Structure 1
Amino acid sequence: MNAKNSSTRKQFSTILADYLSNLRHNKKLSLADVASQTDMTPQVIGLYEKGKRIPSVDAMSKLAKFYNVDNESALKVREDAIIDTTQILGEDTPPAIKNEYAMLSLRNQQITIDGKPLTSEELEKATEFIKALRQKQNKFS
């Protein structure tokens, strides 16, 4: 990892990091305890709790289930962290987080087709289709 990535990662929002750390500490669990029950490594959970990585939706859902918290609420905290991180880092935001931020922004705009708003699932499928189309176009360019 180069120096730029290292310093950028230190600047992620702490919203989600604090949330996950508090859940674990309130239950008086170690990183190893959480890892053994969620099929994650203690190192990855530590990165989440230090705000150096944002868990995927699947990983966040696993953690919500493990901590016995409402999945929708946990995913909302994750979304808030993505928005906050994008605002903190601006142009230095990693591409994956920028993409998720764009998805969140689009979902909030209620794009419609034939007068009906797109569902989250339809929006995700459309995004995946566009990514595949772009990759195909880049391959032939």
Structure 2
Amino acid sequence: MSNKETAELNSKPIGGWLLAYLVILIIREALYVSFSIKILSNFSYIIEESNWIQNAITVGLLIKMIATGIILMLFITKKKYALYLIITLELLCIVVRILTYTDFISRGQTIPVSYNLSILIGMISLTWITYFLRSKRVKETFVKTDDMNLM
């Protein structure tokens, strides 16, 4: 047995903060699906009546919904490249929050108090990125590669 196969067999189970993140992913996907259904029902109106930033936010939401679904599958199977997709998703979430902020400013609107929650969620995304980059447990859990070598 090679070192890679041994590492895959001895990978740690999903637990601790990884389990918390898995629950967050499931909740996030449910919210993205519900928001996407709401947006798609009025899609032509939204595109006609919005500016480029709002369109980017809408497209970003759809991309995040698809990416979260893919990450859920990879997360459960503990694929190593799931980590890169998770970090990309969290960065995308931060970018969408920045675009939302820019949209408020560009239209001359005051930023709602509820946006403070969005800033907090952006900070949490930064925390998750740091966790996935530095955690020893993450490195020991996500060890499966895509080699099709069955022997």
Q: Could you tell me the TM-score, scaled by structure 2's length? A: 0.36
Larger radius of gyration: 2
Q: Could you tell me the TM-score, scaled by structure 1's length? A: 0.37
Structure with greater contact order relative to length (CA < 8 Å, sep ≥ 6): 2
